[in-house]
Copies of this chain bind each other. A is one copy, B any other.
């Protein structure tokens, strides 16, 4: 594969990025998106095709022939590996450069056991998926990975990850470089989810790429991914979006970070389960009591189930958590005035009551102007945002790196 000459293509990356963010755009679409002239787009597209960076896309029509649909990244660019590492599981996805998933697998694990065993699982998953699809390592364009902790993006190092203490300073890039020649890009998991959602919306035409969005992940941890003017916003140290340790109650429970009343300690999955168990033990809820005595413990799904069966205690637990989350998000809405506040993660998916409680709490506490155009909803991708985002991270960054070489 030839390398693109940056002097010959000062605007090649702009066109390539426009194709990355679109779904098979025509040359006309590219003129609109890049604001370059028709002849300039034509010339750059010609060069990018010659260099096998892009190609004409095509679909099979009803007669069995193929008809052209627009431009897409060239299949010879290969495949991307997306690694979506959560606190309790990891999903590895292999996709072609136009986001067609060719294989994927999810494995239960626990990041708290440290990098050794977790990375062994990931490496095995990658090898197995590639073997099944007969894809060679040399065909990998890039590897993207989301991790549940703060990441210094330009080095890929984890910095002070509260939920991943054994991973501090671990060099994920060097680890993968031992077995892969493809470049590796690492980011915080919620940043990756936000990137995935943004890519999904832009390539669907649901976004012009200028929106300011906050994606909020509600799970064991609580964090936000921030999109400013169509780009992931990481802040001065890569810590932006680290809202789990905003304190909403100075008299609240002590958090693992050392402070008291953090939103993560009050509305994270473990505390929701803890409050439901307490309700069962206090004899307030027969449904929860029965579940505990049958199973010996409770999960988030049990609490959702009890709430859907009309159990007042379970409903109260969910409403309280939603109201607390909304309290923190209302401050962010006043400060950041986003167009979209998108919820994701197992706590968000506990049911419509959770979404309603969060919405109600945000609207009650925000200024009318800040919520005039605000959409509060689930991410469109749901649980797939991490897989899509880590894939988008791999492809986008690998293309940028290649064209700047």
Interface, chain A (partner B; CB < 8 A) = 150, 159-160, 211-212, 224, 226, 228-229, 233-243, 245-247, 257, 259, 328, 330-332, 334-339, 365, 367-370, 372-374
Contacts and interface: CB of A to CB of B under 8 A. Distances in A.
Contact of A160 (B240, B328, B337, B369): B369
Contact of A240 (B242, B247, B336): B336
A337 B237 contact: yes
Copies of this chain, tallied across the complex:
2
A237 B372 contact: yes
A246 B369 contact: no
Nearest to A245: B367
A243 B160 contact: no
Contact of A369 (B150, B224, B229): B150
20 contacts: A150-B369, A159-B369, A160-B368, A212-B235, A212-B236, A235-B338, A236-B373, A237-B373, A238-B369, A239-B337, A239-B369, A242-B335, A242-B337, A242-B367, A243-B334, A243-B335, A247-B365, A257-B367, A331-B332, A336-B336
A335 B228 contact: no
Nearest to A37: B7
A334 B242 contact: yes
B373 A337 contact: no
Nearest to A244: B334
Given A237-B369, A242-B369, 19 more contacts: A160-B369, A212-B233, A226-B335, A234-B337, A236-B337, A236-B373, A239-B337, A239-B369, A240-B337, A241-B337, A242-B334, A243-B334, A247-B330, A247-B365, A259-B365, A331-B331, A331-B332, A335-B335, A336-B336
Contacts of A235: 212, 336-338, 370
Contact of A374 (B234, B236, B241, B332): B236
A211 B339 CA distance: 23
Given A259-B365, A365-B247, A240 B373 contact: no
A11 B259 CA distance: 51
A332 to B, nearest CB: 6
A361 B341 CA distance: 28
Nearest to A374: B236
Contacts of A237: 337, 369-370, 372-373
